[in-house]
Structure 1
Amino acid sequence: MEYRVLGRSGLKVSEISLGCWAIGGPSWRDGSPVGWSGNDDNESLAGLRRAHELGINHLDTADVYGDGHSERVIGQFLKDVPRESVVVASKVGWFRGTAPNAMQPVHIRHQLEQTLTNLGTDYVDLYYFHNSNFGPDDQYLEEAADTMRELQKEGKVRVIGQSAYSYADFMRVCPVTRPEVLQFNYNAFGNEFDQQGTNLFQWAEQENLGMVLFGPLAQGLLLDKFDPENPPQFGEGDIRSTNQSYSKERLLEIRRQLQPLKEHFGSATQELVRAAIQYALAQSPNACVIPGFKNTRQVESNAEAAGRPLQAQEVELIKQAFRRG
């Protein structure tokens, strides 16, 4: 396993870390599915233990993942390993309970205490604002930022992070939240974060901020593991059930786009895993990736891509495969 330092935060993490959303299981938010189906707690725990054996030291979860279930599974795992051997990240911002907004300061403090209880620890290494929704006209933004810094002074949070879903949102809230680590969605399909004028990688490097990239495998879409003639069906409470990318038409388009990659890297799923993960890692030396998992096999597959960087021309080949026409 290779390791990277997340910018000025000083956190040293495995370049391939673990996203722990899927092990939270099915869940809903305001009537919409926001979880994952098909998880098993025993398999989740086995995966966490195998990851630790392989040198994966960074676990990313959130209060909303299974409404605390992901955190509680990680809490079981943490009983069996030295706490200092794991960088634990969690988030606040999507689960608001009875608060008017999830970023209301008293709610942030409550959620962190619940997160610490779930995890069975007295601090988190990295605590994110999970989004940029700080209420109408950002009414809770300054108070929320102050609260997070108070929690940091109390020793309950080591590093403050900011997750968001657009360049404009990062630019709006980061001057106030002053994060040392950013988290955002990025994979070989590309998005605004690698475009001129909205290149978050460039801005983060200028500011010496760490970057944690979720979705490097695009929820399996970059692995060509779904049959377009028999599109996958997902269980209740699974966020993928509302994703049109799993339609026959989109799966056929992605298969066509993947053809140059298969010709170069090979058609085996493992080679596509490596290509996708290392493409994301190639964007910045201050970035790590957090692919999700449900079992030991997936953990091992992701970890196998470590330490196998792409050459510059391979990065360009992948970029072109998904940007043409």
Structure 2
Amino acid sequence: MEYRVLGRSGLRVSEVSLGCWAIGGPSWRDGNPVGWSGNDDNESLAGLRKAYELGINHFDTADVYGDGHSERIIGKFLDENSRDSLIIASKVGWFKGTAPNAMQPVHIRHQLEQSLTNLGTDYLDIYYFHNTNFGPNDLYLEEAAETMRELQKEGKIRVIGQSAYSYADFMRVCPITRPDVLQFHYNALGNQFDQPPTNLFHWAEQQNLGMVLFGPLAQGLLLDKFDPENPPQFGEGDIRSCNQAFSRERLLEIRQKLRPIKERFGGEVQDLIRVAIQFALTQSPNACVIPGFKNARQVESNAEVAGKPITADEATLIRQILCDLS
């Protein structure tokens, strides 16, 4: 395993870390599926153990992943290992309970305490604002940011993180939240974050911010493992059930685009895992990836590509081939 420092946070993390959304299982928010089906808690725990064995030290979860279920599974894993050797991250912002807004300061404090209880620890290494919904006209933004800094002074969190879904949102709130680590969606299909006017990688490097990239495998779409003639069916509470990318037409389009990638780098799923993960990692030395998992086999496949970089020219080729798929 190779390790990277997340910018000015000083946190040293495995370049291939672990996203723990899927192990939360099926869940819903406002009637919409926001979880993953097909998980098994024993398999999830085995995956966490395998990750630690392979040198993965950074585990990313959130209060909303299975409404605390992901955190509780990680808590069982933490019982077995040295807390000081692990980087544990969680988030607040999508689950509001009875609060008017999930970023209301009293709710942030409550959710942190609940996350700490679920995880069985007394501090988090990174605590993220999970989004930038700070209420009408950013009503709670300044108070929420101050609450995070108070929690930091109290020793309950080490580093403040900010997750967002657009460049404009990052630019709006970061001057107030002042995070040391950013988290955002990025993979070889590309998005606004690598475009010249909205290149978040360049901006973050100028600020010496760490970056945690989720979705590097595009929910498996970059691995060409789904049959377009028999598109996958997902269970209740699975966010992928609403994703049109799993339609026959889209799967055929992606398969066609991946052909030259497979000819250049190899046609096995493991080859494509390397391409996808290492492409994301080439974007910045301050970045790591957090691919998801459901079992130890998936963890092992993802970890295997650590330390097997692609060149800048290869990254450019991949972008040229896949850029119009986003």
Matched residue, 2:234: 234
Matched residue, 2:14: 14
Matched residue, 1:92: 92
Matches within 5 A, 1:4-83: 4-83=4-83
Matches within 5 A, 1:1-325: 1-324=1-324
Which amino acid in the other structure matches residue 85 of structure 1?
S
- 1:316 Cα deviation (Å)? 1.2
- 1:305 Cα deviation (Å)? 0.6
Cα displacement string for residues 19-62 of structure 1 (whole angstroms, at most 9, x for unaligned residues): 00000000000000000000000000000001000000000000
CA distance in 2, matches of 1:181, 1:137: 24
TM-score w.r.t. the length of structure 2 is 0.99
Q: How many percent of aligned residue pairs carry the same amino acid?
A: 80
Which amino acid in the other structure matches residue 305 of structure 1?
V
What secondary structure does 2:196 align onto? coil
CA distance in 2, matches of 1:59, 1:92: 16
CA distance in 2, matches of 1:315, 1:191: 15
What secondary structure does 1:236 align onto? coil
TM-score w.r.t. the length of structure 1 is 0.99
Which amino acid in the other structure matches residue 227 of structure 2?
D
CA distance in 2, matches of 1:69, 1:323: 36
CA distance in 2, matches of 1:141, 1:312: 39
Displacement over 2 Å in runs of 4+: none
Cα displacement string for residues 290-318 of structure 1 (whole angstroms, at most 9, x for unaligned residues): 00000000000000010000012211111
CA distance in 1, matches of 2:222, 2:134: 33
CA distance in 2, matches of 1:254, 1:317: 16
CA distance in 1, matches of 2:191, 2:323: 10
What secondary structure does 1:90 align onto? strand
CA distance in 1, matches of 2:246, 2:74: 30
Which amino acid in the other structure matches residue 253 of structure 1?
E
CA distance in 1, matches of 2:288, 2:312: 18
CA distance in 1, matches of 2:237, 2:224: 24
- 1:323 Cα deviation (Å)? 2.0
CA distance in 2, matches of 1:223, 1:25: 22
Check 1:90–1:324 CA distance in 2 against 1; reply closer, same or farther (3 A cut). closer
What secondary structure does 1:235 align onto? coil
- 1:324 Cα deviation (Å)? 5.0
CA distance in 2, matches of 1:313, 1:304: 22
CA distance in 2, matches of 1:62, 1:12: 20
What secondary structure does 1:197 align onto? helix
Which amino acid in the other structure matches residue 36 of structure 1?
W
CA distance in 1, matches of 2:125, 2:32: 30
What secondary structure does 2:197 align onto? coil
